[in-house]
Structure 1
Amino acid sequence: MYYYDHCASAPIHETVLRTVTELMELHYANASSLHRSGAEAMKLVERARAGVAAVMGAKPGEVIFTSGGTEGNNLAIKGTVAKSSKSRKHVISSAIEHASVYQCLRQLEEQGIIEVSWLPVDCYGRVSVQDVEAAISPDTILVSVMHVNNETGTVQPIREIGALLAGYPQIRFHVDGVQAIGKTALNWNGWGIDLYTGSAHKFRGPKGVGFLLVREGIALSPLLAGGSQEQGVRGGTYNVPAIVGMAQALRLASESMERRRETMYGLRSRLLGLVRNIPELVVNGFGAEAHQETQDEAAPHIVNVSYPGMRPEVLVHMLEKQGILISTQSACSSKSLKPSRVLLAMGHKAERASGSIRVSFGDEHTEADIDVLGERLAMTVRKLKPLEGSR
């Protein structure tokens, strides 16, 4: 099988797997316990915290461990909203955010807790800094814009938005960095970001663990009532093996990022060239022949294409029979038959937004793998051509 679904979950690094397995056998004590075994477990947690902070350019006290991206995004948003003393609370976000941000904000909006300005995007799925500025009001408490879009790979102008918000110190800036870590540069101390979300299994760590960077001096209300772990912001028993494994995976991803980025951009370019030779398919986001993207516009590991008139799950299952594993939309929305919310926001018609597939690759892939993918994708399209437009 050829696995091209790294955005949904990347295979755990072999070294990390061995570390997690060993820790599950040897360090099973509760890290909050007072006895020696508990203290040893807590040392591992704090060592991992320091490791995550070092890679991300943060202070150890700015690292809050979570169960993953969804919790991190909810904690950043709901924790900020609940902590705000404003009677009217206004949030700015975009129409193409991941479900864990989009649905979180919609929930608060429907409950009448906040007002949300949903920013549009251009045809490449990119937010305008000018639109962010125009949406700011005296009641604005939070701006939440993702770093890399999980469907199209479009990189948002995070640095520029952060520079803008430097003039509005009362507004918090949250960035969902789940698809960016290990693939795209970040300057935590230089880009004006207050809250940044990460999830371990996207950079070859274990599932069920992540982190939220919280700028020193910023207070959040906890999502869960419970213990005093994580500065009282995130109670619950520490998942010591997963936390240590995440720190190790993050270090490995960071050490090899530049080399991996160069390799994956080469693979992306090769795949885009093959897709352009299949007339039934159209590229979504940056990468269309009319616009050769730069590396600050598109992430290196994601290619999104549509087959207008064809249900994407048909394409996915046909490719699976040929040993190719890919996704439709994001993993959180892949079972939905609705058109992609992201592609609709980019201005595409429902037919194109309903027929999109996402290819996302990683460290194990080579040019030969991409050639196999292109060949089998072309073969599948030829087989499905007579069914085009059927429902």
Structure 2
Amino acid sequence: MTGGTPLLPPPESGPAGGPVYLDHNATTPVDPRVAAAMEPYLTGHFGNPSSGHHYGEAPRRALAGARARVAALVGARAGEVVFTGSGSEANLLALRGTVLASGRDRPRVVTQATEHPSVLETLRALRRLHGVRVTVLPVDGDGLVDPARLAAALDEDTVLVSVMAANNETGALQPVAELAALARRHGALFHCDAAQAAGRIPLDATALGADLLTMAGHKLYAPKGIAALRVRAGLRPEPVVYGGGQEGGLRAGTENVALAVALGTAAALAAADLADGAPGRLAALRDRLHRRLDAALPGRVRLNGPVERRLPTTLNISVDGAPGHALLAATPGLAASTGSACHDGDHRPSPVLTAMGLDGDRALGALRLSLGRGTTPADVETAADLLVGAARSARAGLLTGPVRPFS
């Protein structure tokens, strides 16, 4: 049982008869157990959790229970969890809230080059609107920050360091604990965008030294539109929404209890997965897919990102002679992502891969294959067959449409 809801079977990789789904870093399917847990709060338990009468009781208890389950997943206290509408909003609250609450005329924030756009664009806005000084650290060829560079960048005006736990494109795991310790020694707070990491690897915000930590529901088999920010007890960021005092006064507005319950249930299921060895199972499938591709396309498959220090769910590769967008266009039986963005038909390499120093051809050739709870060995075999067939056709100059799996 989870939150009083029977545990149904976990979801399949993708819709029945649909493409193999290897794009879990983009979003995850809603787990049927999560959908079942939230349904009563869309119908019978409709009350406002702030109401003192009968109809507010069940929603109020459910909200508190969801907060406790989210906190447990990331090693926080229930009172430290602030529900938000998205991971991007949680990042906004962490960054803007810390800067505006600092009391400094021109505070400094330090981040790194491969952060999520919701961090980098928020910092650009803070620089433009509030005169915040922003230092963006470079990364190495694996996409990792050198702690020595952070140490050199910190000064007495630094109020916040923001470095993600895991990169959304390569899965690279940053040395968060070491970076947070450096920030703390200089009197700065540390924010960690853990949207990709929470529930996929064990996380303890307190042990890591993350004063503020972001997680997002739709990366955890909950619906889109719900996320959370861990705000360490004693901190008081500037609110992101002003009004009635909900969420500890940091985000006003009547709480969406159904979505909070969904995130709480998803967090409990993720904790159970972690305890049951899911990271090892998924890493084995990820590596099996990599080996299949490497063996069938000798000398053409290049790993982008760290060999070891990455999410167990993430494989980012480039295939020589085969642009990523062309491979996916030729394999409608596979749902995945590329390492490029298309603007008016012009494919450009992602800023993440460019920051890592990858040349244009390799960056444009990148594919992100991200596994999840429902991924099976059969999915991995099918994906490998499709990609190898497409890559062989590309090398032969025959990549003009969908291909069949090679035999």
TM-score in terms of structure 1 length: 0.91
Q: Which deviations, in whole Å up to 9, do the C-alpha atoms of 1:141-178 show, x marking residues without a partner? A: 1100000000000100011112222312x311000000
Residue in 2 that maps onto 1:283: 303
Aligned mates of 1:365, 1:59 — CA distance in 2: 32
Could you tell me which residue of structure 2 aligns to residue 226 of structure 1? 243
Among 306, 311, 315, the alignment partner of 1:303 is 315
CA contact (8 A) 1:165 1:192 kept: no
- Superposed CA offset, 1:209-249 (max 9, x none): 01000011111111223321111100112111110111011
Summarize deviations over 1:35-55 as a string: whole Å, max 9, x none. 321232122111211222233
| 1:128-277 correspondence runs (5 A) | 128-168=146-186, 170-258=187-275, 259-277=277-295
* 1:265 positional shift: 1.0
- How big is the shift at 1:185? 2.1
Cα contact 1:282–1:306 (8 A) shared by 2: yes
Contact in 2 for aligned 1:177/1:197 (Cα 8 Å) = yes
Conserved 8 A contact 1:309-1:388:
no
| TM-superposed deviation, 1:113 | 2.3
- Unmatched tracts of structure 1, length 5 or more: 288-292
Helix, strand or coil: the match of 1:190?
helix
For the pair 1:79 / 2:97, whether they are aligned, the reply is yes
SS in 1 for 2:348: coil
Contact 1:327 1:334 in 2 (8 A): no
- Asked if the contact 2:242/2:249 (under 8 Å) is kept, the reply is no
Q: Distance in 1 between matches of 2:101 and 2:33?
A: 40
CA distance in 1, matches of 2:248, 2:319: 49
SS of 2:338's equivalent in the other structure is coil
Aligned to 2:353, which of 343, 349, 373? 343
Deviations 1:92-112 (A, max 9, x none): 100000111111112222335
Determine if the alignment matches structure 1 residue 61 to structure 2 residue 79. Answer: yes
Name the residue aligned to 2:4: none
Partner Cα distance (2:85, 2:339) in 1:
23
> Which residue in the other structure is 2:383 paired with?
373
Residue 309 (structure 1) shift:
5.8
The equivalent residue for 2:325 is: 313
Paired positions, count: 377
Q: Deviations 1:253-280 (Å, cap 9, x if unpaired)?
A: 1112141011011012112212323243
Give the residue type in structure 1 aligned to 2:291. Answer: G
- The 10-residue stretch of structure 1 (33-42 or 137-146) with the greater mean CA deviation from structure 2: 33-42
The answer (yes or no) to whether the contact 1:66–1:211 under 8 Å persists in 2 is yes
Does the 8 Å contact 1:90/1:142 carry over to 2?
yes
* Residues 73/308 of structure 1: CA separation in 2 closer, same or farther (3 Å cut): farther
Query: Secondary structure at 2:337's aligned position in 1?
Result: coil
What amino acid sits opposite 1:355 in the alignment? G
* Distance in 1 separating the partners of 2:356 and 2:278: 29
1:212 is matched by which residue type in structure 2? L
- Of stretches 308-317 and 125-134 in structure 1, the one that deviates more from structure 2 is 308-317
Residue 345 of structure 2 corresponds to residue 327 of structure 1: no
Give the C-alpha shift of residue 386 in structure 1. 4.5
Tell me which amino acid in the other structure corresponds to 1:361.
L
Q: Contact (CA 8 Å) 1:76, 1:174: kept in 2 or not?
A: yes
Question: Does the CA-based 8 Å contact 1:310-1:387 persist in structure 2?
Answer: no
Partner of 2:127: 109
In structure 2, the partner of 1:35 is 53
Q: 1:241 to 1:379 in 2, by over 3 A?
A: same
- How far is the alpha carbon of 1:8 from its aligned partner? 0.9
Distance in 2 (CA, whole Å) between partners of 1:96 and 1:47 is: 35
Decide whether aligned partners of structure 1 residues 218 and 381 sit closer, same or farther in structure 2, where only a CA change above 3 A counts: same
CA distance in 2, matches of 1:334, 1:100: 19
Identity %: 37
Distance (Å, rounded) in 1 between the aligned partners of 2:370 and 2:49: 36
Give the 3-state SS of the residue equivalent to 2:127 in structure 1: helix
Secondary structure in 1 matching 2:352: helix
> Match for 1:162: what amino acid?
A
Instruction: State TM-score, norm by structure 2.
Output: 0.88
CA–CA distance in structure 1, aligned partners of residues 382 and 185 of structure 2: 50
Aligned-pair RMSD on alpha carbons?
A: 2.1
- Answer whether contact 1:67 1:209 (CA < 8 A) is retained: yes
Return the letter of the residue paired with 1:174: H
Moved more, 261-270 or 46-55: 46-55
Q: Report SS of the residue matched to 1:72.
A: helix
